[in-house]
Structure 1
Amino acid sequence: MDILIDLERALHQCEVRQNKAKAASLIHTSFKEIGASGRSYDFDSIVEMMSAELSSNGYIHSQDFESIQLEASVYLLLYKSAWVDNNGIKSNFAKRSSIWIFSGEKWQLKYHQGTPCLEFELGI
């Protein structure tokens, strides 16, 4: 589902992450996350963390998206990601899973998990 991939990738962008209103509109109020670090987040802590981030010297690359419909308005989005710095150095490889729900008005991220993984070849 292309819209979910677009929304997921929007959450990778500094201009969205640093804007509390934009980030909060994409994240459900009962949001939960288990980060690749093992740390847990809820709605308040993730919005606060993202808004406090400094502008980055790289970007999050994401690929190999797969969506699985769990219910009529609930999708599981699976993908891989890596951090790529301005020198092209790749790090923080992870497999990621997100659960998106449609509230009748918009899609929102309800759950996210990142699990470190072995390095993989970056594709398009």
Structure 2
Amino acid sequence: MTAPGPLANQLLALETALQTREVRSSDEKLRELLSPEFREFGRSGLAYTFDDIVTRLVAETDPNNNTTISDFSAEMLSETIALATYRGIRINQDGSRLLTNRSSIWRLDPDGKWRMVFHQGTATG
């Protein structure tokens, strides 16, 4: 079932926030958005745990991620679990584009906050 509009907008805002340098450089903000059980299969094919990804993102040196989100959609998997899918478009410094299909599973935790529990990036083309 498609997520209601307000929830889809909220999840899009959370995904967008995770692309910002402000969030990616903050251990505290990442811990607000990512569940301690978080796992990721990255675009590279590597697997990451919560600690791996927090350490990696905080250490990033690129001041501008230059990634935008297009074709976003959200589907409810249960009353407290949502699947977000989208295309990530990164513009490199040389002007080339890197396209990645992305999916995230978000869970509504007992404290009323949505936290990402899983993410996968798949290279396109």
Give the TM-score, by structure 2 length. 0.88
**Residues 35-55 of structure 1 deviation map (CA, whole Å, 9 limit, x = unaligned):** 000011111000000000013
Contact 2:21 2:64 in 1 (8 A): no
Gaps of 5+ in 1: 119-124
Over 3 Å counting, the alpha-carbon distance change for 1:6 and 1:57 in structure 2 is closer
Q: Of 35, 45, 51, which aligns to 2:42?
A: 35
Partner-residue secondary structure (3-state), 2:19: coil
CA positional deviation for 1:56: 2.9
Contact 2:65-2:90 at 8 Å conserved across structures: yes
Quick check: 1:31–1:109 contact (8 Å CA) kept in 2?
A: yes
Q: Is 1:12 equivalent to 2:28 in the alignment?
A: no
| Number of residue-to-residue matches in the alignment | 117
Matched residues in 1 for 2:100 and 2:62: separation?
A: 21
Instruction: Kindly provide the amino acid, as one letter, of the partner of residue 98 in structure 1.
Output: S
Q: Which runs of 5+ in 2 are unaligned?
A: 1-7
After superposition, the C-alpha distances for 1:78-124 in whole angstroms (9 at most, x for unaligned) are 0001111356x132211000000000320000000000013xxxxxx
Which is strand-richer, 1 or 2? 1
% identity of equivalent residues: 33
Equivalence for 2:120: 113
What does residue 79 of structure 1 align with?
Answer: 86
Would the aligned equivalents of 2:92 and 2:98 in 1 still touch at CA under 8 Å? no
1:121 aligned residue: none
Q: 1:84 & 1:117 partners in 2: Cα distance?
A: 15
SS of the aligned residue for 1:7 comes to helix
Q: TM-score, normalised by structure 1?
A: 0.89
Are the structure 2 counterparts of residues 66 and 107 from structure 1 closer, same or farther at C-alpha, using a change threshold of 3 Å? same
- Over the aligned positions, Cα root-mean-square deviation in angstroms equals 1.3
1:57–1:86 Cα change, 3 Å: farther
